[in-house]
Amino acid sequence: MQILETSGWEDYELIDSGNGRRLERFGKYILSRPDPQAIWLPKVSVETWNRADAIFDEGWKTKTKIPDKWIVKYQNISLYLKLTPFKHTGIFPEQVSHWQFIENKLKSLSQVSNLSVLNLFGYTGASSLVAAEAGAKVTHVDASRPAITWFRENQNLSGLMDKPIRIIVDDAIKFTAREIKRGIKYDGVIMDPPVYGHDPKGGIWDFNKDFPRLLENCSEILSGSPLFVIVNAYAVSASALMLENVMKDYFENLGGKIEVGELCLKEKVGGRLLSTGIFARWSK
């Protein structure tokens, strides 16, 4: 079991957490959001928490004039953030550990332009843009048209419109099943499956039922010399051991190694770790 710890970067930091909330800086704006796991006491003063530009409590309440969207940067990647109705902003900052992993894997190879990476449940696309910026061909799949539009904005903002990125609005299982029939192969697969979701035609995604089927499909579309499979899981009532067991079913025969554990953010002030989800990675 591993802890993937993110201490933040120039445009993001977890300032503090506690009393069921987290206090974060995204660019120049400070946000206070619920986090049910943070049942400990905050480290910083009430006055510091009160300086938040926006607070989520059954909806966002803004205390300063925050634009409809603003920009944060991760290295050469630029991303639009927004205050969404579901307390999210458009990025999951703890995934910087995976972004670094993807970048290091791809940039260590001499023939990156021949490599193909598939990002399922791609959302606003930070992982896709990191892979594309590193030189890979990317297929970005999400069932939400608004998420795809947001990704296109991020791609344009990052100056990566000329990169070979294929964008698909589709259900992950149906798409991968068709790729099997078409004989399309990928050198890397990234996925961020929800607990529940809907495809563009109203079909239902159920993690416990559908996740093993998806991994089986992905095992069949990996190339002869694959590099990695990355899985993030949020709000799943299961442990990283569950991810490890299922990953072994489909990828252990490929050799390499399987890592599992928790994705965590490290507080700037208290230095405590806040777990945000579980992950699994297979890699050569």
Owner of token pair 């899981």: 233
In which element (H, E) is residue 12 found? strand 12-18
User: Sheet containing 12-18: which strands, arranged edge to edge?
Assistant: 12-18, 21-26, 29-34, 54-56, 60-62
Cα distances (angstroms) measured from residue 30 to each of 52, 64, 86, 135, 227: 5, 10, 17, 33, 37
Domain 9-72 and domain 92-283, same fold? Reply is no
Phi/psi for 93 (5° steps) reads: -60, -25
Residue 113 is predicted with a pLDDT of 84
Would you place residue 51 in the very low, low, confident or very high pLDDT band (cuts 50, 70, 90)? very high
Residue 198 is predicted with a pLDDT of 75
Residue 45 pLDDT greater than 90, yes or no: yes
Would you place residue 19 in the very low, low, confident or very high pLDDT band (cuts 50, 70, 90)? very high
Would you place residue 196 in the very low, low, confident or very high pLDDT band (cuts 50, 70, 90)? confident
Q: CATH classification of 92-283, choosing from 1.10.357.10, 3.50.50.60, 3.40.50.2300, 3.40.50.150?
A: 3.40.50.150
Would you place residue 37 in the very low, low, confident or very high pLDDT band (cuts 50, 70, 90)? very high
Residue 282 is predicted with a pLDDT of 98
* Percentage of the chain lying above the pLDDT 90 cut: 90
Residue 31 pLDDT greater than 90, yes or no: yes
Min mean pLDDT across 145-149, 228-232, 236-240, 254-258 is at 236-240
All structural domains of the chain with their residue ranges:
9-72, 92-283
Residue 50 is predicted with a pLDDT of 97
Work out the average pLDDT over 224-253.
Answer: 93
CA distance 103 to 68: 30
Work out the average pLDDT over 130-135.
Answer: 97
Tokens at residue 112, please? 């990156």
Work out the average pLDDT over 253-273.
Answer: 96
Whole-structure pTM value: 0.95
Residue 227 is predicted with a pLDDT of 97
CA atoms within 13 A on the CB side of 79: 26
Beta-carbon contacts of residue 166 (< 8 Å; ≥ 6 apart): 137, 138, 139, 140
Would you place residue 205 in the very low, low, confident or very high pLDDT band (cuts 50, 70, 90)? confident
| CATH of segment(s) 9-72 | 2.60.40.1180
Residue 112 is predicted with a pLDDT of 84
The DSSP bridge partners found for residue 260 are 280
Tokens at residue 148, please? 């795809």
**Mean pLDDT score of the chain:** 95
